[in-house]
Structure 1
Amino acid sequence: MLKKFLIERCSWILLFLFMQLLLLFIAYIDSSIPIMSVVYIVFLSIIIFVIFLAIRYNKETPFYKSLEEWESGLDLSGISEATKPFEKIVEKSITDQTERQAQLNNDNRMALEQERDDLLPWIHEVKTPLTAMHLMIERLEDEKMRTQLTYEWLRIHLLLDQQLHQKRISFIENDLHVEKVSLEPLIFKEIKDLQSWCMQKGIGFDVDLGVDEVLTDDKWLAFIMRQLLTNAVKYSEASDITIRSRMENDHAILQVQDFGRGINAKDLPRIFDKGFTSTTHLDQAATGMGLYLAKKAAKSLLIQIKVKSAPDAGTTFTMVFPKPNEFVKLTSM
Structure 2
Amino acid sequence: MKRFFQHLYDARVWIISQFILTAFFIFLAWLAYPETFTVLILVMVLMSGLLLLVPIGYLMRKEKVVQKAFRIFLAEPELENEQYLARFVSKSNSKLIQQLGETLREKEDRLTQQNLEVSDYETYIEEWVHEIKKPLSLLTLILDNRSDEMSALVRQRTTHARNEIQNDVEKILYFSRLRTVHRDYLFERVALRAVFEEAIAENASLIAESDLTISIEGNDISVTSDRRSLLFILAQLIHNSAKYAGKGAHLSVRIEEKEAIIVTFHDNGPGISARDLPFIFDKGFTGGRAKATGMGLYLAQRIATDLNIQLVAETEEGLRMSLVIPK
- TM-score, with structure 2 as normaliser: 0.72
Higher Cα radius of gyration: 2
CA shift at 1:221, angstroms? Answer: 0.8
Tell me if structure 1 keeps the 8 A contact 2:136–2:162.
Answer: no
CA shift at 1:168, angstroms? Answer: 2.8
% of aligned pairs identical? 25
Match of residue 24 from structure 2? 25
Match of residue 136 from structure 2? 127
Q: Distance in 2 between matches of 1:278 and 1:143?
A: 34
Report the count of equivalent residues: 289
Q: Distance in 1 between matches of 2:15 and 2:43?
A: 10
Match of residue 330 from structure 1? none
Q: 1:232 to 1:110 in 2, by over 3 A?
A: same
Task: Tell me which protein shows more helix as a share of its residues.
Answer: 2
Q: Distance in 2 between matches of 1:201 and 1:111?
A: 38
Q: 1:289 to 1:46 in 2, by over 3 A?
A: farther
CA shift at 1:179, angstroms? Answer: 0.8
Unaligned 5+ segments in structure 2 are 78-104
Tell me if structure 2 keeps the 8 A contact 1:172–1:300.
Answer: no
Tell me if structure 2 keeps the 8 A contact 1:23–1:38.
Answer: no
CA shift at 1:152, angstroms? Answer: 3.0
Out of 10-19 and 31-40, give the one that drifted further. Answer: 31-40
CA shift at 1:296, angstroms? Answer: 1.3
Show the 5 A alignment for 1:64-213: 84-96=64-76, 114=123, 118-135=127-144, 138-139=147-148, 141-171=150-180, 173-213=182-222
Match of residue 279 from structure 2? 270
Residue 67 of structure 2 aligns to which amino acid in structure 1? E
User: Considering only aligned residues, what root-mean-square deviation do their CA atoms show, in Å?
Assistant: 4.1
Deviations 1:274-317 (A, max 9, x none): 111113xx22x32111111111111211111111115xx21111
Out of 146-155 and 40-49, give the one that drifted further. Answer: 40-49
Tell me if structure 2 keeps the 8 A contact 1:252–1:320.
Answer: yes
CA shift at 1:37, angstroms? Answer: 4.8
Q: 1:164 to 1:261 in 2, by over 3 A?
A: same
CA shift at 1:47, angstroms? Answer: 11
Out of 21-30 and 230-239, give the one that drifted further. Answer: 21-30
Which residue of 242, 260, 264 corresponds with 2:252? 242
Match of residue 296 from structure 2? 290
Secondary structure, in 3 states, of the residue corresponding to 1:274?
A: coil
1:214 aligns with 2:214: no
Q: Distance in 1 between matches of 2:148 and 2:181?
A: 38
Residue 239 of structure 2 aligns to which amino acid in structure 1? T
Deviations 1:157-203 (A, max 9, x none): 32222223222332373311111112222211211222233223332
Q: 1:5 to 1:119 in 2, by over 3 A?
A: farther
Q: 1:241 to 1:321 in 2, by over 3 A?
A: same
Tell me if structure 2 keeps the 8 A contact 1:173–1:300.
Answer: no
Match of residue 300 from structure 1? 306
Q: Distance in 1 between matches of 2:221 and 2:181?
A: 25
Which residue of 212, 226, 234 corresponds with 1:225? 234
- TM-score, with structure 1 as normaliser: 0.70
Tell me if structure 1 keeps the 8 A contact 2:26–2:41.
Answer: no
Secondary structure, in 3 states, of the residue corresponding to 2:235?
A: helix
